[in-house]
Amino acid sequence: MIEEENTETIPGKDYHIDRLNNEEALKIMLQNHLKAFKSVKVALNSIELSVNKIVSLLSNNIKSKIVYVGAGTSGRIAVQDGVELYPTFGWPLKRVKFIIAGGKKALTKSIEGAEDLKGKNIYEIVKNKIKPYDVVIGIAASGSTTFTIEVIKFANQIGAMTIGISNNKNTELEKHSNIPIILNTGTEIVAGSTRLKAGTAQKICLNLISTLVMTRLGKVKKGMMNNMIPTNKKLFLREELINSLLHAKNKGT
């Protein structure tokens, strides 16, 4: 029986980039990243279900917020997605939160042991950050990150909606999430380095979810950001252009 590939599987010798010249290595790495796109395509049904549930929850409760949870690379990708909701869509800052293993310091520096926290330590971190009317999105490439799983379990206990995004099948994160999203990217070119195609798949997945959620909540009109928050000259000019185009289109309809 052939064991199924996962994020920790060591690649075959033909894919050992340390033995290839630059051109060959780059081509193989790029080809490998195509699996990220394919893994998201396979998971579109789960992604659509997530969008529908999130939109319903956020529409029906003005206190509901999106809570991103993760550790390491997955946590950083989660933050990258969430911090853009305010400037791009005008989504209130108080309605998006982050629970990252190791806290803010972990965004720029590895905090050893933070992803292994559980029990009382987890409770102290999340007790005032998650409410029953929130949606909690946990991201863990391996699907076995203790920190992320423990936060998801806590969220379940208080009645929040939980979504788990992982890159391996049959994991604890999948088991404990209300809506599991499996991005089965398989072997990495550098075994276990999920900053590669596993991370790419996570970024695509979160991008699809958050963009369509914001669109369904009325933050996109005629393919434009109608609720953006301008913070510099470029964005002020963009806002003026968007407003003029929307006004012109509305006047003509």
pLDDT at 251: 55
Which one from 5, 8, 84, 239 is the annotated catalytic residue?
Answer: 84
Domain ranges of the chain: 13-221, 226-253
115 is a catalytic site residue: yes
Over range 224-236, report the average pLDDT: 80
* Confidence check: pLDDT of 2 > 70: no
**Is pLDDT at 110 greater than 80 in this prediction?**
no
Over residues 110-121, the mean pLDDT reads: 73
Integer Cα distance of 151 and 199 in angstroms? 20
Catalytic residue, chosen from 115, 150, 172, 174, is 115
Annotated catalytic, 48?
A: no
Q: What is the CATH number of domain 13-221?
A: 3.40.50.10490
> How high is the pLDDT of residue 242?
76
pTM of the complete model: 0.90
Residue 249: is its pLDDT beyond 50? yes
Share of the chain above pLDDT 90, in %: 70
